[in-house]
Amino acid sequence: MNDRSAKSIKIMVIDDDPSMIALETALLEAAGHDVTALQSTEDVLAKIKGQAPDCVLTDIMMPGIDGMQLLKQIRDEPALSATKVIMVSAKTFEYDQRAAMQLGADSFITKPIDEDSFAGQIEDILADQMQMSFWGVRGTLPVSGQRSLRYGGNTSCVSLDFPRGQQFIFDAGSGIKEYSNALMAAQTKMNAKIFISHPHWDHINALPFFVPLYIPGNEFEVLGAAHPHITMRELIAAQMDDVYFPITMKEFGSRIYFRDLNEGEYEIDGISVKTLLLSHPGNCLGYRIDYGEHSFCYITDNELFLPGDASHNPHYVERLTKFVAGADALITDTTYTDAEYQSKIGWGHSCISQVVNLAHEAAVKTLYLFHHDPDQDDDAIDAKHARAAALLDERNSSTQLVSPNETLSVKI
């Protein structure tokens, strides 16, 4: 988690508007940071090199050297390679934001700034952490009513937001509708990647209800496991065939692309994405995201057979352990208790003891129990959590344990 304001940040603010300089300076100094302000860009690069700030906040539209030119000069200067640069501008055009990021900006904040959150935004960007949010944590079927008040009743969906604006979404179960509601309340444009683990209903059934797909100006890429007989585009189109659903993909207003992934390593939006075929009926991918010094693993659906079972595959367990090794966050299929699993062997889902073994052997920092059986109420999930915690204690494991509820948001 990000410990905000643990230390003072050295910040240089550059803007030709004295009222903006005064506002930004006041907000940042109130948060405990050391601020130097410049209203002119004369000899600005030399001043930046002399001050050596942790971060430069610069406007774009300024006389003399504009913000884009300054960004380029900073990025071309080896001595300033560690300096973060954040554009703070009234230019809201997508072109300018995209150009700034391509030139190496660390983020882009549009004016008018939000006075309540501005200092926090800067701190979050400098912390350079991923923001992980849970929107659905159950498997197979959504659950409603009194049985699911604490953890929520929606099926798989997790979002991952990055400081430079990239947005990843993992699965499109019914939880993606809750994510849609949150996004629409914020009324922000989107350019995101949607990673589908596999096309079973509980992982794709709410994609047609993801409202940002229908909004012109948004852009999405839907990525998922390659199949020999059908493409990812065909899979999504099939579930929206008018025999099954009254709205087809023709109604989408955003730009949508599709990509079939194999097991391997990719760079997507400048971020390292590794994939692994999982132990589940049909082609199902697990994902590992490595960002800076931190990592996130999304491993669902997946069956870890008990040692001694005829289907137990030590080689697969070894490969999976290596795949998730050292992850800051492992979100993984923990559908059953060990007792429940005895009658569900071969259904493609794991039990508590094997998930705990995996997390411990892989030295995972935090294990997130996920994809709960629809017959399990909140108390049953509490009991699974208690059992997993006891097993970790027995192993003197350093792995932390979380059973996430819907809307839980964590920085990695």
Mean pLDDT of successive 10-residue segments in the chain (412 residues)? 62 96 96 94 92 95 94 95 94 89 92 92 90 97 94 98 92 97 86 96 95 95 95 92 86 95 96 97 97 95 95 97 98 97 96 98 98 97 98 98 97 94
- Bridge partners (DSSP) of residue 377 are none
- Nearest-angstrom CA–CA distance, 220 and 212: 9
Three-state secondary structure call for residue 192: strand
The pLDDT of residue 5:
44
- φ, ψ at 371 (rounded to 5°): 65, 60
Domain ranges in the chain are: 10-127, 131-411
The pLDDT of residue 165:
84
The pLDDT of residue 69:
96
The pLDDT of residue 6:
54
The amino acid at 355 = V
* DSSP secondary structure code for residue 374 in this structure: T
Q: What are the strands, taking DSSP E only, across 79-225?
A: 84-89, 107-110, 131-136, 157-161, 167-170, 191-196, 219-225
The pLDDT of residue 7:
78
Query: What's the number of CA atoms in the CB half-sphere (13 Å) around residue 402?
Result: 17
- Of the candidates 272, 252, 277, 241, which has an alpha carbon nearest to the alpha carbon of residue 262? 277
Over 233-282, what HEC string results? HHHHHHHCCCCCCCCCHHHCCCEEEEEEECCEEEEECCEEEEEEECCCCC
CA torsion through residues 180, 185, 187, 192, sign: negative
CA distances from 308 to 78, 356, 362, 396 (A): 57, 17, 21, 24
131-411 is classed CATH 3.40.1390.20: no
Would you state the structure tokens that stand for residue 150, as one six-digit string?
Answer: 């604490």
Distance of CA 128 to the CA centre of its chain: 13
- Nearest-angstrom CA–CA distance, 222 and 237: 12
- φ, ψ at 148 (rounded to 5°): -130, 35
- Nearest-angstrom CA–CA distance, 26 and 264: 48
Helix axes 352-361, 314-324, angle to 10 degrees: 60
- Of the candidates 155, 137, 130, which has an alpha carbon nearest to the alpha carbon of residue 405? 137
- Nearest-angstrom CA–CA distance, 182 and 207: 15
**pTM of the full predicted structure?**
0.89
- φ, ψ at 227 (rounded to 5°): -120, 145
Q: Which helix (H) or strand (E) holds 346?
A: none
CATH number for domain 10-127, candidates 3.40.50.2300, 3.30.360.10, 3.30.750.24, 3.40.190.10: 3.40.50.2300
Q: What angle do CA 125, 130, 132 make, to 5 degrees?
A: 135
The pLDDT of residue 127:
87
Would you state the structure tokens that stand for residue 362, as one six-digit string?
Answer: 């892989």
Provide, for the chain, the percentages of residues in helix, strand and coil under a 3-state DSSP scheme, each rounded to the nearest 5.
30, 25, 40
The pLDDT of residue 1:
37
- φ, ψ at 10 (rounded to 5°): -90, 115
- Of the candidates 330, 331, 329, 336, which has an alpha carbon nearest to the alpha carbon of residue 372? 336
The pLDDT of residue 163:
84
- Nearest-angstrom CA–CA distance, 162 and 55: 18
The amino acid at 364 = V
Place of tokens 């922000």: 188
- Nearest-angstrom CA–CA distance, 332 and 336: 12
Pairing of strands 219-225, 191-196: parallel
The pLDDT of residue 412:
93
